[in-house]
Structures are given as C-alpha cells and as structure tokens.
A and B are shown apart, each in its own frame.
Chain A
C-alpha cells in the first residue's frame, strides 16, 4: 500500500527542495534593480523532469483508485498545473524574448508563480499522504520488478553527465 506513496514522495520531495532554491533565486532577481539575467540556467529546467516523474509514479501505482485520488487532489493540482504553464511562459519571455529592459512587475510575477506553485504542490503532497493513509488504496506493485532495475540503469546513465554539467557550468 505504501510502496507507491514512497515512490511518489522521494522525487516530489527532491523537486520541492530544488524548487525552493529556485524560488529564492527568483526572489533575489525580483529584488535587483537591474535586468541582468543572473538567474535560471537550462540546468534548472532539468529539475522539472522530477515533477513529471512524481506524477507518473503516483498515477501508475495508484491507478486503481484514480477516480477517488483525482477528486481528492483535483483543484490544487489543476491550479499548480496552470501556474506551471504561466511560469513557463514568463521564463521563456524573460530569458529568451525581452532584450534589455522590461517591467520589474514581470520579475515579481515570476517569483509569485514560484511561490504559489510551491504552496499548491505542498497541498497536493499532503492530500496524497492523507488519501493513502485514510483510504488504503491498492498499489500496482507488479511494476516494481521493472521499476527498480530501470531506475538503477537510468541513474547510472545520467549521474556522470549531471555531475559534469554542474561542474562546468559558468
């Protein structure tokens, strides 16, 4: 029952931690008076893969209770999804479209999308924990024999490159 929960909590917790740091960076950027692009690099976009993985694991492992689970988390996850889209739009606009100067309101808006994503994702996580504890859903453990070797192989493939990217990043 709890195996699915653990598999969801590990990547989502790492994501939230990294996203807290990203939120701090966006806050710092909003406080700056100039428009230097001193913040997000492409490497940070890699962290979003963790969120997608968390959601996939959650939905695949608790697929048999998806009706109940989806109604428990529907509102906060839809809001978080919408905010993620807005964040993506702002990210692309601020870092790839605008040239030199732009309204600082955009930086603040960018920061607030981060902040609210964090809040709503935390609500989703707590609601998932609450749902699993109260409803005792059956997890699809038949995937575990494939999931674990797959994860080890993937980590073996990416850990070296990831270390390399962060080491050489300017």
Chain B
C-alpha cells in the first residue's frame, strides 16, 4: 500500500513539475528574445520588430501569471508531500530557496516595470532594455537557485554525518558545487533551444500563409532565420555541456549513467548502446546498435576508461530500466532537431530557396516542437535516474514522503486544474496574439 502511495505521489509531483517547467522555460527565454528584438528594432529603426517584441512581452506576462500559480502549487507539494527532503537537508540546502525568493521578487517587479514603460516617452529605449535585462537576471538567478537544490539532491555535499547527526554544515559548498553549474548550464541551454525552436515553428506557420515570392522579404522569415541561427549556436553549446554532464555522471552518479546507457557490466572499452530494452533482470534484449569503446571515449577520452556497470548494485537499488529507452527517444529527437537546424543554416549560407518552400517549412513546424519534449525527457531522466533515492545515498524516496496524510486523496485535484489552467492560458495567448494591437 505504501508503495502505491509513493508512486502516486511521484506521478503527482511529476505532473506538476512537468507543467511548471513548460511555463518557466518560456518565462526564462522570452525576455531575452524581447530585448534582442527591441535592440534590433532600435538599430534598424524598424517598427515591425518593435511590435514583435511588445507582443512577445505580453505573451510572457500571461505565462508568468500562470507560472506564479503553478510555482506556488509546486512549492506546496514539495514541502508538504515530501517533508523528508527538507527535514534532512533543510539546514544544508535552505539557502538557495531564500535566494530564489529574492530573485523571484526582482523578476516580478522588473517585469511589471518593463511592461508599464513600453510606451512611456520619458523612458529611453536603453533604459527600457535595462529593465528587461533585470527580468532576465531575476529569472536566471531564480532558475540557478532551484537547480542547485536539484543538483544537491543528485550529489549531496557540504556536511558530514557524525553519530547519526549532521555536522560541519557548509551552506555555500552545498549550493555552489560543480554539479550545480553543469546542471544549470545544460538545463538553461535546453530551455533556450526549446523556446527558440517553438518560436521558429510558430513563425514558420505564419510564413506558410504568405505567397512564396513574398516570403524572402517577410518579417516572419526574418524571425525564423534569426531563431534558427541562434538555435544553431545553442545546440552546439548544449552538445558541449551534454558531454561534460556525461563525464560528471560517470564520476559521481555512475548507476544513473549505467542505466541510461544500458551498461550491464563494469569495465574498460565500454560501448555506446542505442536501442534494446533492459528487461526486469537487468539484461539488455532486443535489436540495438552498439558502437564499441564509444562510452569510454565519451566519459574519459580514452577507450581504456573504466565505466561502472549495473552489476555493482543489486536490482532493488537500480533506477527503473525504462530510462534507457527514454534516453534513446531523447537522443533521436536531438538528432532530428539538429539536422533540421543545420540544414536550414546551410540553406541560409548557400542562399538556397528550398528553405522557403512549403515542404521544408512543414518539417520545421513539425520538429520545432521537439525541444519541449526534449526538456521534459531530460528532467525525467534526471529525476527517475536518481531513484530509489530522493537524496542520493542518504534518503530513499519512500522515506521522504509525508507519513500523516494520504496524498492520493487530495493531490489529484491539481492535475485536473493544471489542465484547465493550460487551456485558459493557451486561449489567453491566442487572444493576445490575434489582436493586432495586442490589447
């Protein structure tokens, strides 16, 4: 029975976080795009670009309102459903929560300021962009703070346990670990990529409604071009942070890496495995592509690098085996998205017309939304890959859950309301974007 409650609570928390992450990645990326286009509008003295920035900022406001609501619910669930996490780690990792609240105030106040001063004559364009930069700063600091908590749950540091009690607590060491910086960089790049590609897809939809001969000079094509060029840079940086993450996992969370990469036996010359399924006994079955030595090369830059396998832990202490398949899905999507992006960049470089054709735009529209799924899958891998631990090596998930209340009775109200909030937010965004004046 307890197992059912634990699983139900995990699904509940996962649903809420999944929804909140969707909203927050727009909240983190749209301010940057707004400032960028405001800057371009100023530089080119282009009213159309300025109107785009204004429009996006209105969408951003609606999403922030939804994000405040979902964020409050996530904070409540984290504390009330999983009190064990803060009971164990609150003294060590409470600091990022405090910083997050400061960052959040800065973000909210400057967002209001940014929105209220769009049409104020006394406010110069540069000052207005500065207000926008403060929104970016607040949002980024907020994301950093929360990511450090997750990084600490993956690799707890900054304390000793002496006689069953916490001693030598170092709150800075707990917060500013290498893990936190890698995880933060990789997740932020994922958010940027996802939102930039969604924007490219949305403007590709608009572009398709125009006549082919008009597309080259269209503002919609300008947006698509800028977004995809930017996504090319972001995806390259993501590949770098992704490979650093793999090295970090090999050193610090080897079981998570072993399960993700389906490394069944420890040893050197470890292969990269794509495909196949890990069965309930931890054996890899089914069709798969195996690249010899590739994993050892990736994590240690040498085929002789030793990689820990699943054989070093009992089945009961391994994460669920399906995360290998989730990782394969994620990497397939990353591969397709990269191809779409680099084909477009090649087309721009060669001044080719094929990127303006309906067929290519359809592909772009279809795969542009992959970024959102990639981010969600990334977080699922991080969280599910840490199981059965809530705080890696110290506190099991089943011991972190509240002992006094049956969360399943209350909690399923939230996914229901999240669905309604999602629909209403979508309708609000659609209304704002269809109103030419954006009122």
Contact = CB atoms under 8 A, between A and B. Distances in A.
Contact of A67 (B87, B171, B414): B87
A98 B77 CA distance: 31
B76 A81 contact: yes
Given A67-B83, A67-B404, A88 B69 contact: yes
A64 interface: yes
A88 B68 contact: yes
- From A75, A86, A140, name the one whose CB has the most chain B CB atoms within 10 angstroms: A140
Nearest to A54: B101
A126 B404 CA distance: 20
A96 B432 contact: yes
B66 A168 contact: no
Contacts of B109: 46, 158, 161-162, 165
Contact of B113 (A87, A146, A164): A164
A92 B207 CA distance: 29
Interface string A74-96: 11011001101111110111001
Contact of A59 (B86, B95, B425): B86
Contact of B65 (A57, A88, A97, A169): A88
10 closest A-B pairs (Cβ-Cβ)? A63-B90, A88-B69, A96-B428, A71-B404, A66-B83, A60-B94, A63-B86, A59-B79, A154-B102, A53-B101
A89 B420 contact: yes
A38 interface: no
Contacts of B405: 70-71, 74
12 contacts: A43-B112, A52-B104, A55-B72, A59-B86, A60-B94, A70-B402, A71-B404, A85-B418, A97-B424, A142-B171, A150-B99, A158-B109
Interface residues of A, number: 58
Contacts of B349: none
A143 interface: yes
B428 A97 contact: yes
A97 B106 CA distance: 28
Best-surrounded residue of B112, B169, B403, B414 (most CB of chain A within 10 A): B112
B94 to A, nearest CB: 4
B241 interface: no
B363 interface: no
Interface in B106-144: 106, 108-113, 115-117, 120, 131
B380 interface: no
A90 to B, nearest CB: 9
B100 to A, nearest CB: 7
Contacts of B95: 143, 146
B354 interface: no
A82 B108 CA distance: 22
A104 B175 CA distance: 49
A169 B66 contact: no
B73 to A, nearest CB: 5
B91 interface: yes
Contact of A146 (B98, B116, B424): B98
Contact of A42 (B83, B101, B112, B424): B112
